[in-house]
Structure 1
Amino acid sequence: MFENQIIEGDNYNKLAKTVCINILDFKYLKNDKFHNAYRLKEINTNEELTDAMELHFIEIPKLRKLDDSEEISDMLEVWVAFIQNPDSEIVGKLEMSKREIKEAKSELVRMSGDSKERYIYEKRKESRLEKVSLIESAEQKGIEKGLKEGENKKAIEIAQNAINNNLDDNTIQIITGLSLEEIKELRNKKQGLC
């Protein structure tokens, strides 16, 4: 999009400002601000290369909770409130005073009446929820696997110490929960038979 604005030989001054807005439903950056903006800068001198390109990150979970009765003057907060819940009481009040919100709400109502648009929206939402679910499931499985591996490693360590202290296999099995085969394998490794 940015590079398609000019052709070979054109002056870079012809580039129109491009703003990339990332609206995130999760915390991404390591600060408490819900809106962060970035431009291209030289790493050592901090000299700005251009103001023609900006990256904005809006992290919805970092936005303060809005009270239904409060007046919102910051337009960014207004838009985030709309994105979070276009049917909220806050947005209903904002429709009365903010032309842009009223137009956006009208467009949303129009689109939601169009079954094709609604189908596309629902499929995108479903896909996003499936991705989140898959990630959470994979994370949970990874945690469980890690815990199990950690428990098994600890049991093996305890068994090795018990073997070194000449405890019998049945006692080691009771203490560690390892099978007799696993304990015999550890004994054989200690004696250099494996």
Structure 2
Amino acid sequence: MSKKLIRFDWAVKKLLRNKANFVVLEGFLSELLFEDIKIQKILESESNQITDDDKYNRVDILTQNSKNELVIIEIQNTYEIDYFHRMAYGVSKALSENLNIGQPYSEVKKAISVNIVYFDLGQGKDYVYRGTTNFQGLHEKDVLQLSNKQKETFTKQNVSDIFPEYYLIKVNQFNDIAKDTLDEWVYFLKNSEVKDEFKAKGLAEAKEVLDIMRLDKEQQYGYNRYLDYLHLKASEVLSLKIEAEEKVRNEKAIEVAKKAILKGFDSNTIADLTDLSLESIELLRKELKPHE
């Protein structure tokens, strides 16, 4: 029987302090990138020094894999309209901080940015997106390639192999139907549950180490605080949305009321049409009186 586990985003940093647990993140990245990923080390992450509020709001991890590539994993819980910009900034910052003074630009590492978001970002039907950089001719429409010498020197086959690569997983857009092993991971990220029949790399280990029954009282308290925080943030977003919609409705009602006043409608009729109070309508009459 499968059961609810600790949320991955809450536990992942503590989990990765132990190198023996790298297999969990390695499994996830292997399924996402369709290759066998091995993590060499966890590098310092910016959010290790930030405020408690931001720590709860997002998780960011910087790792280096066995191919000497930087892999940035960010988990964002609440809506940010400029999240695409932050993705670009995060990669740029990681690249610049990992090129030592005096090194040639050829030493700039390949960066892979993996972004797990629990809100709808952008406009699209899918729940997993991949972004790469290619150069296409404006006239010939051909894709710019590396020369043979560049392929030999940099051990890369394509221009896009040099530039950052982005992955975006919109967790809440997943329909809970796991059609492959990557879907099994997305299901787990959304529902904190590993079904008995799941076979994805790293999930069995995740199920073992994230078992909520293994939390002691202090950990339970911290975890429950985290869940409360997520509920609070979700309520704040919903409240702001409702307030914004109410404001738009009120503004439209006022516009209708003004037009009705100018056309000579009585206040009771206008109140029925707009749901505005009689007092509000009378104030609008006074406001419009000099223009009648």
Q: 1:33: which partner in 2?
A: 126
User: Superposed, which structure 2 residues align to 1:167-178 within 5 Å?
Assistant: 172-177=266-271, 178=278
Matched, 1:54 2:165: yes
CA distance in 1, matches of 2:212, 2:268: 68
User: Superposed, which structure 2 residues align to 1:124-139 within 5 Å?
Assistant: 124-139=226-241
Matched, 1:3 2:114: no
Change in CA separation of 1:159 and 1:11 when aligned onto 2, cut-off 3 Å: same
Q: 2:196: which partner in 1?
A: 92
Say which structure, 1 or 2, has more relative contact order (CA 8 Å, 6+ apart): 2
Matched, 1:105 2:207: yes
CA displacement 1:30-61 (0-9 Å, x = unmatched): 22222111124558767556535222101123
Amino acid corresponding to residue 56 of structure 1 in structure 2: Y
Amino acid corresponding to residue 17 of structure 1 in structure 2: K
Counterpart among 178, 182, 200 of residue 76 in structure 1: 182
Amino acid corresponding to residue 121 of structure 2 in structure 1: Y
Amino acid corresponding to residue 252 of structure 2 in structure 1: G
TM-score (norm 2): 0.50
CA distance in 1, matches of 2:208, 2:229: 26
TM-score (norm 1): 0.70
Change in CA separation of 1:99 and 1:140 when aligned onto 2, cut-off 3 Å: closer
Contact 1:25 1:61 in 2 (8 A): yes
Contact 1:173 1:183 in 2 (8 A): no
Q: What is the Cα deviation at residue 86 of structure 1?
A: 4.0
Larger Rg belongs to: 1
Change in CA separation of 1:38 and 1:187 when aligned onto 2, cut-off 3 Å: same
Q: What is the Cα deviation at residue 158 of structure 1?
A: 0.8
Percent of residue pairs bearing the same amino acid type: 19
Contact 1:39 1:51 in 2 (8 A): no
Contact 1:6 1:15 in 2 (8 A): yes
Q: What RMSD, in angstroms, separates the aligned Cα atoms of the two structures?
A: 3.1
3-state SS in 2 of match to 1:58: strand
In structure 2, list runs of 5 or more residues that go unmatched: 1-93, 145-158, 272-277
